[in-house]
Amino acid sequence: MNKKETLEIRKQFTNENCAITRICGCYVDAEKQIRTELKEAFLSLPEEEIFKYYEIFRKTLSGTIGKNLLNMEFPLAQEMPDGTQSWLLKLRDSRLTDDVLLEEFYEKIIKNYAYGENYYIILIHAAYDIPKKAEDGMEMFDASDDTYEYLMCSICPVKLDKAGLCYNAEKNSIEDRSRDWIVQAPDAGFLFPAFNDRNTDLHSMLYYTKNPENLQPALMEEVFGCQTPLSAKGQKETFTELVAETLGSTCDYETVVNIHENLNELIEEKKDLPEPPTLTAPEVKNLLARSGASEEVLEHFEEQYNSTAGEKTEFVATNLTSTKSMEVKTPDVIVKVSPEKAALLETRMIDGRSYLLIQIDDAIEVNGVPVQAIRAPEQDD
């Protein structure tokens, strides 16, 4: 799913567009015991609660594609009658009215979700009549041929609110405020099936994580049967290792700067697309070649890529570089510079020692104090 498709589903979480038919959930304590359960027609809930749930659902489809929102495909084995995809389809088609399937779903989440405190599992069923789009892009709500029927799950921590004092109007006094258990924004969740090309894609799902570095691999692999992808940080670390191993002794300052400049150009060129650009093995090889790597260095690149990253790995460009800052680091000094100003830095050998030189054209400050730039000594006539 891309940004536009995700936003189209998010727009449903209002009273005007609501397509949710049923909501179920359970509250789990720190000992992994279910304390209470919810099973209701969604629109039968009090209006105040409905609006709070809308906020949670919108959060479950928020963040950056490739970082917080991960597209995952089911392996072929999981699409067999005894696979996880088939089981999720059975749960969706039950419209959350089968108590046995619901209990099995809760058990799977509780067993595999790594969290040591209280949390609330929310599961909804919805049926969205997909409006056609006219040639000018306008939605034609009275011309719907297809229905997107889906499940969405949000897993939310439940924590005590902060202690404090409050004013008691009845007693006209200041006193200790009673603390309540508050449902927080979701930490994880998923949408099944995926909504690709504005229609149902039974072979994929969308996974949400609040923390891109905490992907809950047991949840992905045991509940959904999908391989855990590299996190955003993992992609950057793997790409860095791949570049260093491939370039070897030719991995100099200029080549690495060129790599990140080319990545930033790619991101800028495709910034208006609904999803960030990705790089497969041939595209990474081409990137290195354009950045200064020789044919000799890239001769065995495919083998290096497969051993370091994995044959099917794709890198999301926005996970590999920063468009705001480039960092040059030594054991004792860290220099940060805007990527478009990287040319102000250069490496040079002076009297047998390596130096990182910074060209100074403007004012200099040291801890906020302006200092005078070094000037060439005046020459006698």
Dump pLDDT digits (tens) for 147-167: 999 999 999 999 988 888 888
Instruction: Look up tokens 């995926």; give the residue.
Output: 194
Distance of CA 149 to the CA centre of its chain: 24
- Whether residue 6 has pLDDT greater than 80: yes
What pLDDT is attached to residue 142? 57
What pLDDT is attached to residue 330? 82
C-alpha–C-alpha distance, residues 104 and 27, integer Å: 15
What pLDDT is attached to residue 275? 81
What sign for the dihedral angle of Cα 135, 140, 144, 148?
Answer: positive
What pLDDT is attached to residue 339? 79
- Whether residue 238 has pLDDT greater than 70: yes
What sign for the dihedral angle of Cα 216, 218, 219, 220?
Answer: positive
What pLDDT is attached to residue 139? 57
- Which residues, in sequence order, are CB contacts of 96 under 8 Å at separation 6+? 22, 23, 24, 39, 102, 123, 124, 125, 151
What pLDDT is attached to residue 236? 92
C-alpha–C-alpha distance, residues 22 and 95, integer Å: 7
What pLDDT is attached to residue 380? 60
What pLDDT is attached to residue 355? 83
Contact 27, 120 (CB under 8 A): yes
Amino acid type, 298: L
What pLDDT is attached to residue 144? 64
Dump pLDDT digits (tens) for 245-300: 999 988 888 899 899 999 999 998 988 887 889 999 999 999 999 999 999 999 88
Band (45; pLDDT cuts 50, 70, 90) = very high
Residue 316 has, within 13 A of its CA and on its CB side, a CA count of 21
What pLDDT is attached to residue 272? 85
Mean predicted lDDT score pLDDT of the chain: 89
Which position has the higher pLDDT, 16 or 135?
Answer: 16
- Whether residue 368 has pLDDT greater than 60: yes
What pLDDT is attached to residue 364? 82
What pLDDT is attached to residue 140? 58
What pLDDT is attached to residue 17? 93
Band (365; pLDDT cuts 50, 70, 90) = confident
Dump pLDDT digits (tens) for 105-126: 999 999 999 999 999 999 999 9
Band (326; pLDDT cuts 50, 70, 90) = confident
